[in-house]
Chain A
Amino acid sequence: MLRVGLPAVALAAMLGAIFAMQPRAMSYFGLTVLLNFTLPAIFAAMAQMAVIAVGDIDLGIGPFISLVNCIAATLLATHPLLGWLSFAALIAAYAAMGALIHLRRLPSIVVTLGASFVWLGLALLVLPSPGGAPPAWLPALLAWRPPLAPLPLLASVLLAALGEFLLMHTSYGVVLRGIGGNPRAIARAGWSLLAGRAALYALAGACGIVAGLALTGLNTAGDATVGTQYTLISIAAVIVGGGEFVGGIVTPIGTVVGAWIMLLAGSLLSFLNISTDWQLSVQGGILIVVLGLRALNRWSAA
């Protein structure tokens, strides 16, 4: 409970501070503008969470999102079938990456870093210089104003609920998390570790695709480097939201909250008139502070 409770309180505090400084943000429109870019962030964070759940890390999710963005701004508009096929192929590639990491017992950090070069290269091949145009339905979808709440808020709640359900409430989700907790016990109970890892990586790939599509819809253009920032955001989101690097301890709801916190940290900076140059410092700093506090807490409890 405390795992998700603390980040939720922190988020509330941040929102409170923002609203206090900028009351106009509290309107429907204001919230949409403030929170628009949480859409790609929450899906990027979910992708990262899927991988961290089994004790791995994905350092290539940022460039992967850029690749999806480039495909969406080119192929998806001109040759939609090819575009969707390439998305399917990318999900398969992610699953294959997970399988390779399991079968060869490779460190995920190096493999995903190598993959990040592949994604970047493919993005440059698809879209050598920023530009392109997504199919009309994509920005239209992102501009949709649902009646109850702004789109980002609605999407966040739905994704958090879906993630929570799939990973924490289904019987197979238990097995997947178990792989992160005690893989030998899971294997001895008869489950396939290979299938589990591949499934989680495929899920990560799918979330990465949605993140890229959302980003494209918001930017209405393609750029091979636009997604790089989401690597740090996604990792920090999972950790700040209550997850741990080892042990299969992840919180889908907390991850979504963490993504909001990471994104809003940037907005808070601009409201406080601090240059956005410091954004990376703040995001990295939040991660360090959270981890440091956790370590101190563990040390004093011992």
Chain B
Amino acid sequence: MTDEPGAPFVQLRGISKSFGAVRALAGVDLAVAPGRMVSVVGHNGAGKSTLMQILAGTLAPDSGAIRVAGHEVGHGYGVRRASALGVRCVFQELSLCPNLSSEENARVVHPHLAGPGWRRRARRLIGDALAAIFPGHGIDTRRPVGELAIGQRQMVETARAFTETDRPVRLVILDEPTASLDATEADQLLRYTAEARAHGIAVVFISHRLPEILGHADEIVVMRDGQVAGKEEAGRLDEARLVEMMGVVRGAEPAHGPGAERARGAIRVAQAARPDAPLPVTLRAGEVVGLAGLAGHGQRALLQAVFDAAGHRRAALRVAGSVAYVSGDRRTEGIFPLWSVGLNTTIGNLRRLARLGFLSPAREKAEAEAWRTRLDIRTPDIGQPIVSLSGGNQQKVLVARAFAAEADIILFDDPLRGVDVGTKRELYQQVRRAAEAGRAFLWYTTENAELVNCDRVYVFYRGTITDEIDHAALTEERVIRASFGTGQIVAF
């Protein structure tokens, strides 16, 4: 594998993990030696966060071996064991208590900070860590963390991970630690990782900022579709090579999607151009426009903005027509878990189904049945509870709901994530047909392969659109380049 001196502090071998039908990790090996910084990069769905959760002990793998500090840790490996062995992690969803100050938050993770004078010790502990990592930080460690800016909160959480009382810190996992930091602070953190490494601490660093990784990591592991696509010393890589490794090498793949030109209809969505956003979004009836880029870089915000803007006059974003929303997070934003398939389907169209305010069960049933047939929703009966359906079929119901609402604009919020391939293909065809009938789609997807269904693709990076790609010019490499801000238009 790698040939650095000394045994690795942590070694993962053959790690696999599936969530239902979705294979998040398929036989991943990873080793991090003390004093080394390994950076894991990859596009959406590569499996980075799943791997990190397994490393941190918050998730158990389906199969594979984990070796930490020389011990083979089996089923007993959890957050507390990991912490006892010296593993610390800073994930993107912060785990600070917003009502407690920085020093009190340090106390929470260090049971030894107790007894008289604990506050002074905690203050010194977190204060020293902050000063070492972010000199000149200006954070008042006595203020409740909830009152700090998001960047400062991230600094506190990062600093806390490096504090130690009775147990030494051996490995620190940093998942997008610079996402909310400005350039100076990010730089300080990266320089500190060198210092930490000099003290023998191992670091796993996940970031989408390729220059950061190339400049500071020792080794870069590229992941793709749940597997390790490549492992290399950072010095031997550059951005182009990384992008290449992250993408799927596509041979002569036939382009699905529109062959002939389709008649473009009225403008449905028009975003005003701004000096810092030179590529505004436009959408016409009959178009399928994709929103790509790394997850959480502004795509969802745009969908929400369009949803909110429907029916109102807004200068910055004009929306002409009715909207329907299909969410990919069906548990929190999609399904009504106590209801049947039928009720979940018709809920988006009640006003049209009702006569004099009353709904007729016969009409509803007919409508739901029609959509069941049209989308081939696999359920013995539309009276079945929706939670009895597979994930893919539940998503079909959500799509049916949006179609049934007969909206002009359909907003897709990554609805096909984790759905089986067969269902996906069926839904792609449905989208095609609906577009041909004049509906407009704004389709946010975290899977680049789906973008072939789109007429045009906007790629997002850190809240702005870095590239607009026509179907004919669409290549995965171009998408990935724009996803990491290395595309044609650099807006900052």
Contacts and interface: CB of A to CB of B under 8 A. Distances in A.
Nearest to B97: A181
Contacts of B146: 181, 247
A190 interface: yes
Contacts of B80: 190
Contacts of A189: 108-109
A186 B99 contact: no
Contact of B99 (A172, A188, A249): A249
Interface string B405-425: 000000000000000000000
| Residue among A177, A189, A191, A249 with max Cβ neighbours from chain B (10 Å) | A189
Contacts of A191: 108
B266 interface: no
Interface stretch (B110-118, B296-304, B332-340): B110-118
A177 to B, nearest CB: 6
A177 B98 CA distance: 10
A178 B95 contact: no
Interface in A204-258: 247-249
A24 interface: no
A171 B98 contact: no
B100 A177 contact: yes
B108 A185 contact: yes
B118 A185 contact: no
Given A188-B79, A190-B80, A171 B107 contact: yes
B96 interface: yes
Contact of A174 (B79, B95, B107): B107
A171 B112 CA distance: 10
B109 A174 contact: no
Interface string A157-178: 0000000000001011011011
A188 B100 contact: no
A178 B108 CA distance: 8
B104 interface: yes
A182 interface: yes
A247 B98 contact: yes
A185 B114 contact: no
| Residue among B97, B118, B146 with max Cβ neighbours from chain A (10 Å) | B97
A190 B57 CA distance: 13
Contact of B100 (A181, A184, A190): A181
Given A186-B108, A188-B79, A189-B109, A171 B99 contact: no
A180 interface: yes
A178 B111 CA distance: 14
Contacts of A186: 97, 108
A142 to B, nearest CB: 34
A248 B107 contact: no
Contacts of B97: 177-178, 181-182, 185-186, 248
B95 A188 contact: yes
A181 B99 contact: yes
Contacts of B105: 178
A169 B115 CA distance: 10
B98 A182 contact: yes
B98 A181 contact: yes
A182 B113 contact: no
Contacts of A181: 97-100, 146
A190 B80 CA distance: 7
Interface in B100-149: 100, 104-105, 107-109, 111, 113-115, 118-119, 144, 146
A177 B99 CA distance: 8
Given A169-B119, A171-B118, A174-B104, A190 B111 contact: yes
Q: How large is the interface on A (under 10, 10 to 19, 20 to 34, 35 or more residues)?
A: 20 to 34
Contacts of B109: 189
B93 to A, nearest CB: 10
Contacts of B100: 174, 177-178, 181, 248
Contact of A185 (B96, B111, B115, B119): B96
Given A189-B108, A190-B80, A171 B113 contact: yes
A249 B147 CA distance: 12
B447 to A, nearest CB: 29
Contacts of A188: 58, 79, 95
B79 A171 contact: no
A169 B96 CA distance: 18
A185 B99 contact: no
Given A171-B107, A171-B118, A184 B95 contact: yes
B59 to A, nearest CB: 13
| Residue among B104, B105, B108, B111 with max Cβ neighbours from chain A (10 Å) | B108
Given A188-B79, A189-B108, A171 B115 contact: yes
A247 B99 contact: yes
Contacts of A169: 119
A200 B22 CA distance: 43
Nearest to A186: B108
Interface in B430-446: none
A188 B119 CA distance: 22
A24 B108 CA distance: 50
B115 A182 contact: no
Contacts of B83: 190
Nearest to A247: B99
A180 B113 CA distance: 20
Nearest to B78: A188
Nearest to B144: A249
Interface string A19-46: 0000000000000000000000000000
Contacts of A184: 95
Contact of B95 (A175, A185, A190): A185
Interface of B: 58, 79-80, 83, 95-100, 104-105, 107-109, 111, 113-115, 118-119, 144, 146
A-B pairs, top 9 by smallest CB distance, nearest first, are: A181-B97, A181-B99, A185-B95, A171-B114, A178-B97, A182-B97, A248-B99, A174-B104, A171-B118
Interface of A: 169, 171-172, 174-175, 177-178, 180-182, 184-186, 188-191, 247-249
23 contacts: A169-B119, A171-B107, A171-B113, A171-B115, A174-B104, A174-B108, A175-B107, A177-B100, A177-B104, A178-B100, A178-B105, A180-B99, A181-B98, A181-B100, A182-B95, A182-B98, A184-B95, A185-B108, A188-B79, A190-B111, A247-B98, A247-B99, A249-B99
Given A172-B114, A174-B107, 8 more contacts: A169-B119, A171-B113, A177-B100, A177-B104, A178-B99, A180-B99, A181-B100, A185-B95
